[in-house]
Structure 1
Amino acid sequence: MEGEFGNFIQVLISIFVCICYSYSLGKIVPKGKTRLLCVVPVVSLFLYLPLCLSSVHLGGATAFFISWLGSFKLLLFAFGKGPLATDPSISIGRFVAIACLPIEIEEDPPPKPQNTHIKANTSLSQSHLNGENGNTPHPRSTKSTTLNHVIKGFLLAILIGILYYSEHFHPNLILVLHCLYIYLLLEFLLAMVGVLARALLGLKLKPHFNEPYLSTSLQDF
């Protein structure tokens, strides 16, 4: 395990150096084919780095964050598109976070026009008093979200204990439990990433999941 942790630290350092190199490309290399040629070696390295890790959790998370999301973000960045190219004055910290982590910054809505009719304002205020908010969903409270993550954390711990004795259960049941385990692990991991990004960089992020298991239709999902 100590050797695996050392490999993981080396992988993280390699990723950080590659992202800093890509950040400098945006300052000195124009977008297009030239920047793409400079980015291709980084993308190739991102495809190789998860192979240096033998752990399923570390290797799988690195492959998802870097080989999949990071590579596509850098390819879009080479042509001046994607989340890495939306703000030319982006700081190195935000560039690294957006490139490495599965986060999407929530943009502030445009300011409302000031010449709104008094009648419209009166109607809007009356609708709020009557509880008629149209199609705008109510934001979830922080307390409810925290409780939701705590419950899912307990479920994840129980699933890990059950899967440890998987030889005593039917294979079809184990397959279903593995699917549930992957979903809970991914949601828990993305929630932690979002908390770290908010705390360290002050970013306002879009939520990754909105309880898809409560969907009433495929379109709702």
Structure 2
Amino acid sequence: MGSELISLMKVILISMASLLYCYFIAPKLPKGKFRLISFLPVFSLFLVLPLYVSSAFLSSSFAFIVTWLTTFKLVLFSFNLGPLAFDSKLSFPLFASIAFLPTRIKHSKTAKYVQNQEEVGKEPHPKIPLNLPAKVVIFVMLIMGKKYYEIVDPIAKSCMNCAMLYFYLDMIMCLSNVFVRSRFGVEVSRPFNEPYLATSLQNFWGRRWNRLVSETLHNAVYQPVRYEVGGPRWMAVVVVFVVSGLMHELLLYYIIRVIPTWEVTWFFVIHGLCVAVEIELKRALGKRWRIHWAVSGPLTTVFLVATAHWLLFPPLLR
């Protein structure tokens, strides 16, 4: 345990030194490819650092926060976009906190192309509000009841696994928000928007589930494919899900350290294709695309749980 903590501290210190390098080198270079090239050693370092932590929990958490999110934030920062690209220069503690922690900061320089009000920070009001203590209590109850619902139907077990995953991620990101908001006084956004109320796959992935990742992928992948490359909307959506699947496959590798089976990637590819079809059908049918939420909501949940039970959880459980 002591050696693991020492390894973790070394990994964190190396990460902070890397961010210090990015903080001081970026202002001296023009935005664009030259700044991006200067960050390549940091990206390579972030790719291997999780391998120096043997704990599956610590390794996967560090990989998600740094190898994935911090790298993508720095890619956007290379072009003076994203959460690190404020109009006024950030202090290094705030820069490092935004880069290192899974936090969504509200400001107007998030993206190059603004699509709607939600992307510039308009927060929807929660319909079934749960504060952080309530989420902690529910999460603990799910953990304590794990040995009981493991003997029931496998689909019910997958539902509980989905719930635990949601509450765990939401708690981690809420704690990150609390720290950044209280320490620096900046305005932050809720990481999740009640994903259990999703009425479609597009609504789930684009508006409700892990909005930090959704926003990051939208700015770093969707917009370049859609507007710089000129690809159709369905192609940009599928590319986003392919990238997300590959990143999740990488996270899984850090946890189990075995050759990938690509089941996790296929989970996101299938969802990406379904979301692309849904978007095109809505575009073609317009107002004729009307399914009551009482029908579309349960159908969405069933599809999510069934595909997670089929492709997402088996590699972890094995």
Structure 1 and Structure 2 fold alike (TM over 0.5): yes
Task: Map 1:121-200 onto structure 2 (within 5 A).
Answer: 148-163=131-146, 168-200=151-183
The answer as to 2:211 corresponding to 1:211 is no
Residue 9 of structure 2: aligned partner: 9
Residue 76 of structure 1: aligned partner: 76
Pairwise CA RMSD of aligned residues? Answer: 2.6
The amino acid of 1:214's aligned partner reads L
Residue 114 of structure 1: aligned partner: none
Q: Deviations over 1:191-220 (max 9, x none)?
A: 000001011111111111222212345565
Q: Secondary structure at the match of 2:5?
A: helix
* Post-superposition offset of 1:15: 0.8
State the alpha-carbon separation in 1 of the partners of residues 34 and 106 from structure 2: 31
Q: 1:62 to 1:137 in 2, by over 3 A?
A: closer
State the alpha-carbon separation in 2 of the partners of residues 160 and 82 from structure 1: 36
State the alpha-carbon separation in 1 of the partners of residues 66 and 92 from structure 2: 17
State the alpha-carbon separation in 2 of the partners of residues 157 and 24 from structure 1: 43
Q: Deviations over 1:172-201 (max 9, x none)?
A: 433332221111100011100000101111
Higher normalized helix content (fraction of residues): 2
Residue 217 of structure 2: aligned partner: none
The amino acid of 2:186's aligned partner reads L
* Post-superposition offset of 1:164: 5.4
Once the two structures are overlaid, the 10-residue window that deviates more, 151-160 or 81-90, is 81-90
Residue 61 of structure 2: aligned partner: 61
Residue 96 of structure 2: aligned partner: 96
Q: 1:164 to 1:58 in 2, by over 3 A?
A: farther
Q: 1:138 to 1:10 in 2, by over 3 A?
A: closer
The amino acid of 2:146's aligned partner reads L
The amino acid of 2:168's aligned partner reads L
The amino acid of 2:162's aligned partner reads C
Q: Secondary structure at the match of 2:104?
A: coil
* Post-superposition offset of 1:61: 1.5
Q: 1:216 to 1:81 in 2, by over 3 A?
A: closer
* Post-superposition offset of 1:21: 0.5
State the alpha-carbon separation in 2 of the partners of residues 29 and 7 from structure 1: 33
State the alpha-carbon separation in 2 of the partners of residues 2 and 156 from structure 1: 28
Residue 44 of structure 2: aligned partner: 44
* Post-superposition offset of 1:139: 5.7
Q: Secondary structure at the match of 2:81?
A: coil
Give structure 1 stretches of 5+ with no counterpart. Answer: 109-135
* Post-superposition offset of 1:163: 3.2
Normalising by structure 2, report the TM-score.
0.54
Once the two structures are overlaid, the 10-residue window that deviates more, 190-199 or 162-171, is 162-171
Identity of aligned residues (%): 37
State the alpha-carbon separation in 2 of the partners of residues 101 and 53 from structure 1: 18
State the alpha-carbon separation in 1 of the partners of residues 34 and 123 from structure 2: 45
* Post-superposition offset of 1:99: 1.0
Give structure 2 stretches of 5+ with no counterpart. Answer: 109-121, 205-318
Once the two structures are overlaid, the 10-residue window that deviates more, 190-199 or 27-36, is 27-36
Q: Deviations over 1:23-50 (max 9, x none)?
A: 0112222223322222001011111111
